Amino acid sequence: MAQVSMLIGMITGPSAELRYGYHCAARLGSWTLTKDDAGFLLTAPVLSSTLWVSQRPLRLITSNGWRWPVESLETLGASCVARLGPKEKRHVPASATA
């Protein structure tokens, strides 16, 4: 499993994806989430992207499976900045709890 580092108000990781449904919209390199009064802000280099990146809704999915909805996305050259909504809870199938 990839390492994820958590500092006060900041989370970093080695890679992530922006997805539209099951489609990969963009592959991201080393990402950083910073916490502010409005929630989390993602900054990351964009390693590759597809036409799906212009679709909505997008989700950020980290290498360890954490998920956040993307509320806004701005690309700046080969980098992106995104405002994220609240972290989603993982779905646990009923058969896994039995």
* CATH number assigned to the domain comprising residue 44: 2.40.10
**Secondary structure (DSSP) of the chain:** ----EEETTEEEES-EEEEETTEEEEEE-SEEEEEETTEEEEEEEEEEE-GGGGSSSEEEEETT--EEEEEEEEEETTEEEEEE-SPPPPP--HHHH-
pLDDT band at 8 (very low <50, low <70, confident <90, very high): low
pLDDT band at 16 (very low <50, low <70, confident <90, very high): very high
Task: Say if 98 falls within a structural domain.
Answer: no
Give the C-alpha distances (Å, rounded to integers) separating 45 from 2, 5, 19, 25, 50. 17, 17, 16, 14, 15
Structural domain for 60, as ranges: 5-88
Task: Say if 23 falls within a structural domain.
Answer: yes
- Cα angle 31-82-22, degrees, rounded to a multiple of 5: 80
Per-residue model confidence as pLDDT tens digits over 37-92: 888 999 999 999 999 999 999 999 998 889 999 999 999 889 999 999 999 987 55
Task: Say if 96 falls within a structural domain.
Answer: no
Task: Say if 93 falls within a structural domain.
Answer: no
Task: Say if 63 falls within a structural domain.
Answer: yes
Amino acid occupying residue 29: G
Task: Say if 97 falls within a structural domain.
Answer: no
Q: How many domains does the chain have?
A: 1
Task: Say if 20 falls within a structural domain.
Answer: yes
